Amino acid sequence: MTVPILAVTSGEPAGIGPDICLDLPEADLPCRCVVLGDKTLLQARAQALGKSVQLQDYDAARAPAAGVLEVLHIPLRTPCEAGRLSTENAPYVLQLLDRAYEGVQAGEFAALVTAPLHKGILNDAGIAFTGHTEYLAEKSGTDQVVMMLAGGGLRVALATTHLPLKDIAAAINRPLIESVATILAQDLRSKFGVKNPNILVTGLNPHAGEGGHLGHEEIDIIIPALEALRAGGMNIHGPYPADTLFQPFMLQGADAVLAMYHDQGLPVLKYASFGKGVNITLGLPFVRTSVDHGTALTLAGSGKADSGSLIVAVDTALAMAQHHRA
């Protein structure tokens, strides 16, 4: 039986990405995890953390022994110190992502898992970058992708992602709601094995607009979109007030919640699962998951970084890839 090979990008070299990748051999996962990164950096970080991790150069035809970390070496542009960002290494961070993308598209890797990168330093280096999700969508020529986080018994997808709060209402429209919900339902079926996904949708405004007294987006946009989706056979319900939807009795039997914006749905999920959650990009022609946290520069090299979210991200990616392949 062929063991699946997953690509794991180590992300921002000054952050905790390299630290948490070093824990992968101890996780005893039923797959091969190939870490993309600078081998010298990983060795130095292991030494600084007191981790006795043996590294082996990646060879698709040769699986490593148990407890050995496979590394696809991509060299840094300049030496890196834990916690200290450098714009000179911004191209290196994207090189990791590009190589992993090429491998997953070619079938070399069964899925792509990403450690955190630092969007600010990429933009400071003159690279227009809004996030992994948007970057991979553009690379793959995918018109529409959906960000979903899972953990703590919840799956929360987002209609909009990294937008300033003042721009969200203008971005919400019927085609967006219908396309995001369709991708969510399709991937719940094809990548999670949910036969008839039950999706609950939040309103945009407080109290879901309270019959138009607190906003008209629910009446004018969200309700007509959900009616059209139900008419097409989708099992989707709402819009519900976001402040009362996230209760056990409301979520019973739900497979996912579709929230209108980032800070509406994700605080609840992260409260329930932080450090054990996983970020998932839906709509791509391959499986991509990520950790639910950032680069944590102050923890890099300290030995205090928790690799739990990365382990869950790998485990989730493997399960999704198996459903996707089937």
316 known ligand binder:
no
270 annotated ligand-binding residue: yes
Contact between residue 215 and residue 204 where contact means Cβ atoms under 8 Å apart: yes
**Distance from C-alpha of 83 to C-alpha of 301, rounded to nearest angstrom:** 8
Amino acid identity, residue 106?
Answer: A
CA quadruple 107, 109, 113, 116: dihedral sign: negative
Residue 323 assigned as binding residue: no
The answer to whether the annotation marks 89 as part of a ligand binding site is no
Dist CA 33 CA 23 (whole Å): 11
Alpha helices for 50-131 (secondary structure H): 90-105, 119-124
Q: Check the annotation: does 237 bind a ligand.
A: no
Between CA 277 and CA 294 the distance in angstroms is 12
CA-nearest of 241, 281, 289 to 265 is 241
Give the orientation angle of helix 223-231 with respect to helix 174-190, to 10 degrees.
40
Residue of 81, 80, 116 lying closest to 97 (CA atoms) = 116
224-263: b (≥16 Cβ within 10 Å) or e: ebbeebeeeebebebbbbbeebbeeeebeebbbbbbbbbe
Separation of alpha carbons 123 and 132, rounded Å? 13
Do 106 and 140 touch, CB atoms closer than 8 A?
no
Residue 279 annotated as part of some ligand binding site: yes
Closest CA to 41 of 67, 59, 19, 70: 19
To the question of whether residue 162 is assigned a binding role by annotation, the answer is yes
Give 165-211 as a DSSP string: HHHHHHH--HHHHHHHHHHHHHHHHHTT--SS--EEEE-SSGGGGGG
Report the alpha-carbon distance of residue 50 to residue 196 in Å, rounded. Answer: 48
Binding site listing = 132-133, 162, 207, 262, 270, 279, 288
Binding site listing for substrate = 132-133, 270, 279, 288
Binding site listing for a divalent metal cation = 162, 207, 262
